[in-house]
Amino acid sequence: MTIDERREYVTFRIDSAYKTFNAAKVLAENGYWNSAVNRLYYSLFYAVNALLVANEILTKSHSATKSQFSLHFVKTGTFDKKYGKLLSELFDWRQKGDYDNIFDYNQSSVQPLFKPVMEMIKLIEKELKNTL
């Protein structure tokens, strides 16, 4: 991938992160908590994926994305450990909400996730400005 292709990809992924975050808000406002968790996870996934691609770290799975973020950005101190935990927690929650039978999240468990997710997306966006 050329630098221009990486820039275009990163821009697209960050835009997707914000749009997906906004979709999570709409779902939450209407009481669709499992779907809101799904969209919150994907908003972070898109942002983290943009960060990895900007740094020429390519992954082929969600688990690899999560582990590469931890290895290159959490363990190095670029991002606080709480963001690695947030990504892991949302990964697990999304799996549970999407695939477990008879499981529903609720407002009290999901609403507190919005602030740290947006905070993480903005921090990733800031880091990207220093990368590309």
pLDDT of 81-95, one tens digit each? 999 999 999 999 999
Q: How many domains does the chain have?
A: 1
Whether residue 13 has pLDDT greater than 90: yes
pLDDT of 30-61, one tens digit each? 999 999 999 999 999 999 999 999 999 999 99
The CATH number linked to 105 is 1.20.120.330
- pLDDT for 30 equals 98
- pLDDT for 102 equals 81
Q: What is the three-state SS of the chain?
A: CCHHHHHHHHHHHHHHHHHHHHHHHHHHHCCCHHHHHHHHHHHHHHHHHHHHHHCCCCCCCHHHHHHHHHHHHHCCCCCCHHHHHHHHHHHHHHHHHHHCCCCCCCHHHHHHHHHHHHHHHHHHHHHHHHHC
- pLDDT for 92 equals 95
- pLDDT for 114 equals 98
| Residue 129's pLDDT band (cuts 50, 70, 90) | very high
Whether residue 132 has pLDDT greater than 90: no
- pLDDT for 115 equals 98
Q: What is the amino acid identity at position 67?
A: S
Question: Domain span at residue 28?
Answer: 3-131
